[in-house]
Chain A
């Protein structure tokens, strides 16, 4: 697959201080839904700003749609829709007028079809009813939708969404996920940054993980999650006995948390049935037994050896 975004040694150092982005080699395959994951302050937004030509890199190069950025901004950006660090609107203009403003900023957009483009973008994010209201009267969720509508004004090859579900209620989050899937089905590459692991896990085909300005890993989500092993979990009202029996059977990492006992699963899956029988035979009343699949969060913790917290 060709890469829609490719960076090599991309570095940004703000005046005196450690690099916000440090020698980043990122490769986003065409047609993917790419999750850009990392705690707040890990350099995600700085990277996105460099990709969009808003800030210049201190070192390294970035290519978007096969063209160098920021040099080719004027030819690349009409094919890119972006939502960067939340929506920014003219509060004294209506939602529709905001979109007309952003659309007229794009020299590649035909002024004769502007109204129609704006109307369909509003429709797509479900804001047609509120299009005439002043943007300052919008709720955070509506502002977020209007920002998305601006990104969707024209058919895009690449959609860059920085924390798109911020400020949305669960219903809004679901709608965004649906929208992302629809766009991806149309062949648009979606680059989605988030600090929410489950969000990435639910929609993304590929992911990259950032921490403190550095890229920790990147690849298909399935591979990343597979890197971390699942855990055997036993639910029982007799946890003490269960811990003893599991330990006797040579399991490691046995841990007890109320009525939940977890352990590293045995290498051979076939041993699981025997373990269960042993537990029952030993008088443990088993309410639940199974291996829990590793999540991206497990993968992240395994990779960074730390929690998913805000970087200092």
Chain B
């Protein structure tokens, strides 16, 4: 029994005798900190909320469709007898290299699909969910009821961030699993030839695919924190989503202008494609760690900004 439950009847008995016991009772219970934070329940509730929205489900369906599209396109093109050209990821050679290998091993569809969705599809889905996370509750008015519940502002923000990160992971896994299924269906699977040219067993390939999916999900952390920060600035869910997506597009444009390469290392997208290094033999961690470090830095900066803003803000919606 929690302290809340056991103390209930005692309080009631007290108020029945004299109705003037509204000041904190002498029991140590009510005004102490209850449990450490009791985050689990709120986090579960937040997850349910995120994944029961039609919008989230629609985003996941679109993401799941991308590997199908790539797989079918590659299949049609090769069955015509033509070789597979480029036409994979808009960003760099890794994606293209993966696409050309799909016909020989369906597992490569996983890498090709992640490379194709990481520049825009995945982050856009994350921007929508992150941007809406606080602002959406504010515009629906539910934020004020969460806060008087009282969810606690820092606690709510933490749970929101965790839920957005969970969405990143689920979105990435959706792409990866859909690609795995389509790849296995349309193409042969077997031992995997790494970018380095060294073959590794299929099981090892699967493990690498899971690792890459996790890294890709982690790559979205910086954007998730930015989206959350933007979300604390406004009471309009749509405005926050649009701003976050706009920021993403701006950064991707900056990233593609060679004259701005002095700025590039500071952008959260700069090391995104480094996940391809995990398909080398042996594994090459440098780029991946730099990427994750960059994401952690972004999360720290924008997470703090979101905290500073949200804990002092007037909730008037």
Q: Complex: how many Å from CA A85 to CA B142?
A: 11
Residues B49 and A31 in contact, CB atoms below 8 Å apart: no
Q: Is B151 an interface residue (CB 8 A)?
A: yes
Q: Indicate with 1 or 0, residue by residue over A185-220, a CB within 8 angstroms of chain B CB atoms.
A: 011010000000000000000000000000000000
Instruction: Tell me the smallest distance from the CB of B152 to a CB of chain A, in Å.
Output: 5
Instruction: Tell me the smallest distance from the CB of A190 to a CB of chain B, in Å.
Output: 12
Known A75-B30, A102-B145, A102-B146; contact A65-B24, beta-carbon cutoff 8 A: yes
Q: Is B79 an interface residue (CB 8 A)?
A: no
Residues A4 and B144 in contact, CB atoms below 8 Å apart: no
Number of interface residues of B (CB under 8 A): 51
Q: Is B208 an interface residue (CB 8 A)?
A: no
Task: Return the chain A residue nearest B150 by Cβ.
Answer: A77
Residues B148 and A104 in contact, CB atoms below 8 Å apart: no
Chain A residues closer than 8 Å to B24, beta-carbon distance: 65-67
Chain A residues closer than 8 Å to B142, beta-carbon distance: 88-90
Residues A110 and B312 in contact, CB atoms below 8 Å apart: no
Residues A88 and B140 in contact, CB atoms below 8 Å apart: yes
Chain A residues closer than 8 Å to B145, beta-carbon distance: 82, 84, 88, 102, 105, 147, 150
Q: Complex: how many Å from CA A255 to CA B42?
A: 63
Interface residues of B in 174-215 (CB under 8 A from A): none
Number of interface residues of A (CB under 8 A): 57
Residues A74 and B33 in contact, CB atoms below 8 Å apart: yes
CB < 8 Å neighbour of A106 from B22, B140, B150, B314: B150
Chain A residues closer than 8 Å to B34, beta-carbon distance: 78, 107-108
Interface residues of B in 130-172 (CB under 8 A from A): 140-142, 144-152, 155-156
Chain A residues closer than 8 Å to B37, beta-carbon distance: 107
Q: Complex: how many Å from CA A65 to CA B151?
A: 19
Known A74-B33, A110-B1, A110-B5; contact A102-B20, beta-carbon cutoff 8 A: no
Chain B residues closer than 8 Å to A84, beta-carbon distance: 144-145, 148
Q: Is A154 an interface residue (CB 8 A)?
A: yes
Task: Return the chain A residue nearest B159 by Cβ.
Answer: A105
Residues A104 and B35 in contact, CB atoms below 8 Å apart: no
Chain B residues closer than 8 Å to A150, beta-carbon distance: 145
**Stretch of A47-55, A119-127, A240-248, A287-295 that contacts chain B:** A47-55
Q: Complex: how many Å from CA A227 to CA B45?
A: 52
Instruction: Tell me the smallest distance from the CB of B116 to a CB of chain A, in Å.
Output: 31
Q: Complex: how many Å from CA A254 to CA B117?
A: 83
Residues A2 and B22 in contact, CB atoms below 8 Å apart: yes
Q: Complex: how many Å from CA A1 to CA B144?
A: 30
Q: Indicate with 1 or 0, residue by residue over B210-240, a CB within 8 angstroms of chain A CB atoms.
A: 0000000000000000000000000000000
Interface residues of B in 1-48 (CB under 8 A from A): 1-2, 4-5, 8, 11-12, 15-16, 19-24, 30-35, 37-38, 40-42, 44-45, 48
Instruction: Tell me the smallest distance from the CB of A82 to a CB of chain B, in Å.
Output: 5
Q: Is A251 an interface residue (CB 8 A)?
A: no
Task: Return the chain B residue nearest A114 by Cβ.
Answer: B41
Residues B151 and A56 in contact, CB atoms below 8 Å apart: no
CB < 8 Å neighbour of A155 from B1, B8, B149, B152: B8
Residues B41 and A67 in contact, CB atoms below 8 Å apart: no
Residues B5 and A104 in contact, CB atoms below 8 Å apart: no
Q: Complex: how many Å from CA A97 to CA B31?
A: 28
CB < 8 Å neighbour of B41 from A4, A77, A104, A186: A104
Q: Complex: how many Å from CA A1 to CA B21?
A: 9
Chain A residues closer than 8 Å to B11, beta-carbon distance: 155
Residues B22 and A158 in contact, CB atoms below 8 Å apart: yes
CB < 8 Å neighbour of A92 from B16, B38, B52, B315: B52
Instruction: Tell me the smallest distance from the CB of B251 to a CB of chain A, in Å.
Output: 32
5 A-B pairs with the lowest CB-CB distances in the bound complex, closest first: A88-B141, A187-B15, A31-B19, A110-B2, A77-B150
- Apart from A54-B147, A105-B150, list 10 A-B contacts with CB within 8 A: A30-B22, A52-B147, A74-B150, A78-B150, A85-B144, A97-B48, A104-B44, A110-B1, A110-B5, A114-B41
The contact sample of 10 A-B pairs, CB cut-off 8 A, is A31-B20, A53-B147, A55-B314, A66-B24, A72-B31, A100-B45, A102-B146, A106-B150, A109-B4, A187-B12
Show the binding face of B for A, using Cβ within 8 Å.
Answer: 1-2, 4-5, 8, 11-12, 15-16, 19-24, 30-35, 37-38, 40-42, 44-45, 48-49, 52-54, 140-142, 144-152, 155-156, 312, 314-316
Show the binding face of A for B, using Cβ within 8 Å.
Answer: 1-2, 4, 30-31, 49, 52-56, 65-67, 72-80, 82, 84-86, 88-90, 92-93, 97, 100-114, 147, 150, 154-155, 157-158, 186-187, 189
